[in-house]
């Protein structure tokens, strides 16, 4: 379904000022145009548009209730607005869409005022979330958490909606390219970008000038590989430059800069988080690229702002880079570890674990050698495959230091011998990526010919104290200030 509002000042075939795919209740350009409450990042992105005169905006949303809310806003603006109720993808057709609905009023009436406040906070996130084709891990996690914590039955609705390509969207609305493209589609961003790039392959003049898309690992988790880094490389091949990457990535088409003074001014709003060096060159520091100053991490947004402290070596890459995030509760932390551990960022897998875990104390010797690996098996696949047997402390694929290619084997470590024994029994000789792998206990480094899993190690592990280890100090250069997690800002009320 397509809906148009506003004066018909823009002729078909003009470049749209903004295309936004995936709407919410306070994060759309329509809220900004009508003077409503919106997020600062939407207002900031709109500042990159060339003009508010003869404004043409396109909004795409598959969920009917969000489409209706956007239509009500569109009636109140003089701008030309086209609303399309559909999902975007690689092919035209139909797909399932999942989203939450409001619970029964009698169920909410039983909640205390504090529990009702908690409910509204959690629902404010769930109301803006939908999932195409299947229920995403994000949607399942937050939906289950809300029902489990408050005992309220929140309906999970399934509907069928049209799914269209970028070519079909452009033909249906009648625009040719856009200045700003905003994507927020719970793991479909890369697929939409590929559809857009396929459309623009013979129409390079229709490439968006500025693109914002999610790079928080959701697309990687859905695709099963590091497609977010791959799409960034594809964008760079058609002359985009990435000016910032975090929870969202921002790419600017270099060829568009001479055409738009507004885009140039928007680019100057970027600055280094360390020394406030701006793109215009007003200040500068060694070894740092201009990045916008964010206080949130690339980890998925749980229910509140997540503070991040990152330790970086400004003089090179000799020192490992690490950071801390702090969650309101352990459940969210466990979920973030589950979906983000070993996801690749900038081509390197990140390791996520709780800062209170002391690796040396947790290791009991349940270390396994995994051999005969296909070259395509990376740390993420190794971790996902073997984490089914228990808690993994690490999973590492050994690589050639010169070219980074896999050497065909790796190592994993469990926190218990029960888990490692189960993995050995269940995976030795099984096929992984069409090749039978070998699983055995790894040889100890300090001895010749002796493997882990000995009776002595098992006895020590069985008599290990049950209480958790004391927090380990963050690694750092001698003389460097100690790092510690930041204090949490006010967030969701405790459960």
Which domains are present in the chain?
Answer: 2-92+165-267 (3.40.50), 93-163 (no CATH), 296-355+474-489 (3.30.70), 358-464 (3.30.70.330)
Q: Smallest Cα–Cα separation from 420: which of 459, 383, 369, 366?
A: 366
Full-prediction pTM beyond 0.85? no
% of the chain beyond a pLDDT of 70: 76
Higher pLDDT, 340 or 310: 340
Contact 372, 437 (CB under 8 A): yes
- Residues near 23 by Cβ (< 8 Å), separated by ≥ 6? 59, 60, 61, 66, 67, 69, 70
**Rounded to whole angstroms, how far apart are CA atoms 87 and 196?**
13
Angle between helices 137-150 and 330-340 (to 10 degrees): 170
pLDDT digits (tens, 9 = 90+) for 203-216: 999 999 999 998 87
pLDDT at 137: 77
What pLDDT band is residue 199 in, cutting at 50, 70 and 90?
very high
Instruction: Using CB atoms within 10 Å of the CB of residue 96, give its burial: 0 to 12 exposed, 13 to 18 middle, 19+ buried.
Output: middle
Contact 66, 3 (CB under 8 A): no
Angstrom CA distances, 330 to 161, 302, 303, stand at 36, 12, 13
Q: Which residues pair with 88 in a beta bridge?
A: 164
Q: Smallest Cα–Cα separation from 3: which of 64, 85, 65?
A: 85
Contact 270, 296 (CB under 8 A): no
Q: Smallest Cα–Cα separation from 247: which of 153, 336, 332, 164?
A: 336
Q: Is 338 helix (H, G, I), strand (E, B) or coil?
A: helix
pLDDT at 346: 64
Instruction: Using CB atoms within 10 Å of the CB of residue 392, give its burial: 0 to 12 exposed, 13 to 18 middle, 19+ buried.
Output: buried
**Rounded to whole angstroms, how far apart are CA atoms 78 and 75?**
8
pLDDT digits (tens, 9 = 90+) for 109-159: 988 988 898 898 888 878 888 888 888 877 888 888 888 888 889 999 999
User: Is pLDDT above 50 for 299?
Assistant: no
Mean pLDDT within 446-453: 80
How high does pLDDT run on average in the chain?
A: 77
Q: What is the DSSP letter of 443?
A: B
With tokens 């697309």, the residue in question is 219
- Residues near 440 by Cβ (< 8 Å), separated by ≥ 6? 368, 369, 371, 424, 428, 451
Range with the largest mean pLDDT of 172-181, 218-227, 301-310, 445-454:
172-181
């Amino acid at each position: 379904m397509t809906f148009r509002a506003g004066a018909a000042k823009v002729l078909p075939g003009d470049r749209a000022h903004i295309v936004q795919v995936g709407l919410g209740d306070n994060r759309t350009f329509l809220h900004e145009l009508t003077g409503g409450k919106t997020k600062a990042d939407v207002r900031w992105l709109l500042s990159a548009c060339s003009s508010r005169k003869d404004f043409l905006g396109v909004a795409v949303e598959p969920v009917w209730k969000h489409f209706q809310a956007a239509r009500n806003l569109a009636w109140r603006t003089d701008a030309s607005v086209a609303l399309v109720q559909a999902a975007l993808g690689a092919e035209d057709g139909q797909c399932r869409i999942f989203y939450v609905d409001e619970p029964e009023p009698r169920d909410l009436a039983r909640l205390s005022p504090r529990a009702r406040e908690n409910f509204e906070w959690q629902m404010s996130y769930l109301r803006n979330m939908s999932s195409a084709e299947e229920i995403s891990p994000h949607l399942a996690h937050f939906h289950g958490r809300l029902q489990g914590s408050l005992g309220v039955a929140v309906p999970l609705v399934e509907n069928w909606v049209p799914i269209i390509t970028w070519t079909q969207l452009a033909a249906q609305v009648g625009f040719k390219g856009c200045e700003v493209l905003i994507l927020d589609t719970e793991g479909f961003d890369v697929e939409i970008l590929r559809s857009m790039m396929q459309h623009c392959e013979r129409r390079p003049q229709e490439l968006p000038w500025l693109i914002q898309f999610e790079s928080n690992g959701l697309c990687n988790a859905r695709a099963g590989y590091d497609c977010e880094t791959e799409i960034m490389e594809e964008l760079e091949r058609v002359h985009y430059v990435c000016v910032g990457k975090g929870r969202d990535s921002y790419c600017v088409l270099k060829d568009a800069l001479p055409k738009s003074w507004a885009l140039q001014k928007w680019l100057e709003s970027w600055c280094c988080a360390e020394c406030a060096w701006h793109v215009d060159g007003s200040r500068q520091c060694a070894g740092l690229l201009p990045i916008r100053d964010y206080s949130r991490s690339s980890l998925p947004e749980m229910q509140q702002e997540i503070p991040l402290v990152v330790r970086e070596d400004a003089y090179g890459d000799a020192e490992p880079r690490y950071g801390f995030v702090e969650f309101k509760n352990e459940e969210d932390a466990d979920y973030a570890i589950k979906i983000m551990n070993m996801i690749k960022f900038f081509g390197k897998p990140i390791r996520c674990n709780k800062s209170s875990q002391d690796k040396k104390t947790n290791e009991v010797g349940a270390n396994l050698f995994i051999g005969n690996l296909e070259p395509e098996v990376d740390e993420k696949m190794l971790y996902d495959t073997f984490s089914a047997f228990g808690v993994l402390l690490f999973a590492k694929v050994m690589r050639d230091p010169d070219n980074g290619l896999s050497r065909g084997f790796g190592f994993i470590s469990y926190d218990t011998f029960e888990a490692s024994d189960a993995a050995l029994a269940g995976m030795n000789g099984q096929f992984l990526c069409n090749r039978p792998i070998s699983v055995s206990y790894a040889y100890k480094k300090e001895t010749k010919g002796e493997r882990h899993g000995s009776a002595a190690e098992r006895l020590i592990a069985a008599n290990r104290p049950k209480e958790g280890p004391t927090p380990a100090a963050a690694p750092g250069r001698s003389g460097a200030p100690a790092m510690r997690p930041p204090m949490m800002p006010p967030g969701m009320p405790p459960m």
